[in-house]
Amino acid sequence: MRRRPRVVVLDYGSGNVRSAQRALERVGADVRISADADEALDADGLVVPGVGAFAACMSGLTRVGAVEVLRKRLETRRPIFGICVGFQVLFGFGVEHGVRSDGIGFWPGGVEQLRASILPHMGWNTVAASDGSVLFRGVEHERFYFVHSYAPHDAAPTATWCRYDADRFLAAAEDGVVVGTQFHPEKSGDAGAAVLRNWLEAWA
């Protein structure tokens, strides 16, 4: 019998960890919620959720020793899935209220406020997936759930884009099995489940 992939949802004080756990279990992962750096490093896959401010998320990651864990996993391209601010921190920096904070720096560029008349961008929206996307196979034309006021705007590997008001921002990026989404797959119903399943099936 095939072993279920062991996935750790990183608990660093910022993120809807229970919803992420349930969504991953739904698509066949063996999931633990943990703040332990060794457990996060050794897991088959690591999910980094995030809600709130960029700087606060970076502080939380630093507090539990997860910045070094992320860098070690990124160096060897071990599976990582960043969600919302957990996606944003993989970029070089974030700017909020005029204050710039350093990110992990795996992808170049930064995260800045959306150019929109109404913030946050909250609700369901479609995306324009890259032709080479693995994450969006079978759900290229579905809608996903967003809730954010900031986003990356720079190109990244296998970029998927979204439009909101006057802005075009990065909705997802895929660099092999290192991926991230600005939307919440765990809150996006069957379409979000398909995205998580596609990620698991790419490496498990």
Chunked into runs of 10 residues, the chain (204 residues) has average pLDDT values of 89 91 98 97 97 95 97 97 98 94 96 97 97 96 98 94 98 98 98 98 96
Identify the active-site residue in 39, 57, 84, 148: 84
Number of Cβ within 10 Å of residue 82's Cβ equals 27
Q: Verify whether residue 184 is a known catalytic residue.
A: yes
Q: Verify whether residue 186 is a known catalytic residue.
A: yes
pLDDT value at position 33? Answer: 98
pLDDT value at position 1? Answer: 54
What is the CATH T-level fold of the domain 6-201, as seen in this structure? Rossmann fold (3.40.50)
Q: Verify whether residue 57 is a known catalytic residue.
A: no
| Separation between Cα atoms, residue 197 and residue 194, nearest integer Å | 5
| Separation between Cα atoms, residue 17 and residue 64, nearest integer Å | 15
Identify the active-site residue in 75, 174, 186, 201: 186
Do you know the residue count of the chain?
Answer: 204
Identify the active-site residue in 142, 162, 174, 184: 184
Helix (H) or strand (E) holding 123: strand 121-126
**Cα separation values, 73 from 22, 55, 88, 99, 184, Å:** 24, 21, 17, 28, 22
Q: Show me where the domains of the chain are located.
A: 6-201
